[in-house]
Each structure stands twice: as C-alpha cells, then as structure tokens.
Amino acid sequence: MNAEELEQLKYPIGEFTKPDHISKKQLDDWIFDIENFPKAVESITNNLSESELNYKYRPDGWTIRQVVHHCADSHINSITRFKLALTEDTPTIRPYFEDRWAKLNDYSEPLEAPIHILKGVHQKLGILLRGLNDEELKKEFVHPEHGKHFSLEETIGTYAWHSNHHLAHIKQALKHKGEF
C-alpha cells in the first residue's frame, strides 16, 4: 500500500479545513451533525458481531470498538474544552495521549457504555452550542500541542468533522471487512 492510499484510509473525508467565513447555516449544519452522531454510531454498530467490532479501518489503525470508545472519550474532552473557554479567559486546555487511552482495558469492553456516553454528551453539547451567542462563539482556548488559539465556532466545525471522520472509519472497516 502506497502513502497516498494509506492517507486516504486515514482521512476518508479529508482533513478539517476551517472556512474563511463561518456562517450561521454552517454552524447549524455542524451542530446537526454533532447532535446526530450518537444515533448514527448506534445504528451502524448495533448488530455487529464480535468479529466485526474488531475490524480495523486501516493497517495499524484502531478497531471499530476502539473508534467508538475513542469518540466517547474525545467528546467528553470536547464538552470540557467548550465549557472552559466559556467560563475562563482563553484557557490552555490539557491534551491527552489518545493512542495510549485506546490501549486501556475499557476499550475492549462492549459498546453500550460509550454509546450511552455519546448520547448524553452530544445531547448536552447540542443544547450548549445552540445557545451560544456571537460573542461566545468568538471565545477561544489554547491547544498547547498546536501552539495556537482555537475559537469555539471553529471548534464546533472540528468536532462535527471528528464525528463524521470516525463514522467514515467505521463504514470503511465494514466495507473492507477488516482486511487490514
């Protein structure tokens, strides 16, 4: 497999690109994607066998099971980042080692708990995000790994992309029957 093919498997919907202007319609679309992500994950994973849950979406990638657990953990961090930015003056958020978390024993468990987490977090996140005013959307946090400020409106796009990115990974693993 060449580097271009591997990159396509790694980023099946491409990488997130912040638009020059983020419209109200764009924000609404992103929030819609965020709100509906848990249902989409549950729908696609609900009847998967143990074998299918262990399909990988690319060589050296995570299994479907790990992807779902990762999304729950990542989106718990997401809502925390939003709330920090809304309640503090440009806070520096704390990154975490996603790859190390994916090796912890809870990532081998059934999907019931992470899907419940996703449902609750995304319901709260949708309420929070739909209630933001223009001033709040401009609030920022600092991500130390990237060494830059991220606005909340951009971060809404990032998490909508993140949701769709990992949903595409799950579909990709199923399409290729985990042959990686």
2, part of any domain: no
**CB contact set of 119 (below 8 Å; sequence gap of 6+):** 38, 42
16, part of any domain: no
74, part of any domain: yes
pLDDT tens, position by position, 116-130: 999 999 999 999 999
pLDDT category, 1, cuts 50, 70, 90?
confident
pLDDT tens, position by position, 59-90: 999 999 999 999 999 999 999 999 999 999 99
Q: What is the mean pLDDT of residues 146-158?
A: 97
> How far, in Å, CA of 81 to CA of 84, rounded?
5
Structural domain including 94 reads: 24-175
**CB contact set of 12 (below 8 Å; sequence gap of 6+):** 57, 165, 168, 169, 171, 172
17, part of any domain: no
**CATH number of 123's domain:** 1.20.120.450
15, part of any domain: no
14, part of any domain: no
